[in-house]
Amino acid sequence: MNFLTIRIDFNFFIQYTNKLQGKQMRIIAISNNKGGVGKTTTTVNLAAALHLLDKKVLVIDIDHQAQSTYHLGYNPNNIKHTVYDAMKGEISYEDIIIDRKGLHLLPANMDLKDIEFLPIPAKEFLLKDALEDLSGYDYVLVDCPPSLGTLTLNALSFCNEIYVPLQVQFLPFHGMYNLFEAVQLVKKRLNKNIEITGIIGTMFNAKKIINNEVIAETEKRVPGKLFKSLIRDNVALQEAPSWGQTIFEYKSDSNGAEDYMLLTKEILERYGES
Ligand SMILES: Nc1ncnc2c1ncn2[C@@H]1O[C@H](COP(=O)(O)OP(=O)(O)OP(=O)(O)O)[C@@H](O)[C@H]1O
Ligand SMILES: [Mg+2]
């Protein structure tokens, strides 16, 4: 029995025992084709809150802007290997993952842009193939870029669920329908298991009528998807990335920290894990 066989058997063992214990690895894309709606902020702070609540969490940054990587305190220009090297099959994801005080990160950098020029077929499955034997995590969160290009399709081929951060404004609300249509196509052609299971209202200000209207419309038109916990407009959430910190490290008494913790507890409750 060689080393590879032992590794595969070990992963099989973990998956088997997880199944026996009813545990499931939740693999969630944080996605919205609209830019600047809070995907990265949500990925990083949801991951941090899950980690604080003793869940084993992996963040995958699949955006060439590498914003989750920056947010967690790493300069992408100084990172030797990224998720892209794993996708190209050049190095195992296990040798790329950064252990950040127990919260794990599969980082990105600008190289991810080159995926468009790779002269190979079925480029949408590179992430899924690279992470075929991934195990041992309770939650895997994938921070997607603001487009429905090859990188996002990789995330949607790999994940089982999508959480959509929705900036509670008129235009982002209508833009969300493009995403719904795209997900139907992905379901047909790439991943029949993928579902939008949650919508997260971001940058909410209770005093703004439009914010409240968008919340009400979302609940009416897409019932059951919007989490009750809304993420308020909060300046600490904007400042935390420049310190390479999560909101819980930067300002644990901020509205941002409170909102992301409440959201995380609501998510765990939904899965019956609280
Ligand atoms: N709840 C909030 N309150 C105030 N500012 C916020 C909030 N959430 C995010 N932001 C800020 O809004 C900007 C966009 O957020 P973020 O980078 O998370 O969005 P994104 O969807 O990942 O963007 P992109 O599409 O470029 O990847 C950032 O400057 C971020 O700090
Ligand atoms: Mg982002």
Compute the Cα dihedral for 45, 247, 62, 15 and give only its sign: negative
Could you give the 3-state DSSP secondary structure of residue 219?
helix
Which has the minimum average pLDDT: 73-77, 174-178, 182-186?
A: 174-178
For residues 250 and 45, what is the distance between their CA atoms, to the nearest angstrom? 11
Our mutation pick for probing the ligand 1 site, out of 30, 41, 68, 147, counting the most ligand atoms within 8 A of Cβ, is: 41
Residue 80 has pLDDT above 80, yes or no: yes
Instruction: Give the separation between CA 182 and CA 1, rounded to whole angstroms.
Output: 45
Q: How far apart are CA 8 and CA 141, in angstroms?
A: 23
In ligand 1, the atom with minimum distance to the C-alpha of 235 is: 4
What pTM does this model have? Answer: 0.92
- Ligand 1 atom at minimum distance from 259 CA: 1
How far does residue 64's CA lie from ligand 2's centre (Å)?
9
Q: Residue 263 pLDDT > 50, yes or no?
A: yes
Q: Is 238 in the pocket of ligand 1 (CB under 6 A)?
A: yes
Atom of ligand 1 nearest to the CA of 232: 1
- Does ligand 1 lie within 6 Å of residue 274's CB atom? no
Q: Taking 80 as the threshold, does the pLDDT of residue 267 lie above it?
A: yes
CA distance 156 to 245: 27
Q: In the prediction, which pLDDT does 7 show?
A: 43
274, two tokens: 């609280």
pLDDT exceeds 90 at position 69? yes
247 C-beta closer than 6 A to ligand 1:
no
> Which strands, in side-by-side order, build the sheet including 57-61?
98-100, 103-106, 57-61, 139-143, 26-30, 161-167, 195-202
The whole-number pLDDT of residue 23 equals 65
Structure-token pair, residue 80: 């030797």
Residue that is written with structure tokens 């038109």 in the block: 221
* pLDDT class of 201 with cuts at 50, 70, 90: very high
Contact 240, 246 (CB under 8 A): yes
254 lines ligand 1 (CB under 6 A): no
Closest ligand 1 atom, residue 65 Cα: 27
Whether residue 147 is predicted with pLDDT greater than 70 in this model: the reply is yes
Start-to-end CA distance of the chain, whole Å, equals 41
What pLDDT is recorded for position 228? 97
Give pLDDT, residue 5.
Answer: 44
Q: pLDDT tens digits, residue range 36-59?
A: 999 999 999 999 999 999 999 999
DSSP 94: G
39 lines ligand 1 (CB under 6 A): yes
Ligand 1 contact via 69 beta carbon (within 6 Å) = no
Architecture in CATH for domain 20-270: 3-Layer(aba) Sandwich (3.40)
Is the confidence at residue 21, as pLDDT, over 60?
no
Both tokens assigned to 62: 């699949």
Distance CA 245, CA 242 (A): 8
pLDDT tens figures, 213-261: 999 999 999 999 999 999 999 999 999 999 999 999 999 999 999 999 9
Spatial distance between the Cα atoms of 228 and 226, rounded to a whole number of angstroms: 6
**Could you tell me what percent of the chain has a pLDDT over 70?**
92
Q: Where are the alpha helices (DSSP H) in the chain?
A: 3-20, 39-52, 67-71, 83-87, 126-130, 150-158, 170-189, 209-221, 235-239, 247-250, 255-270
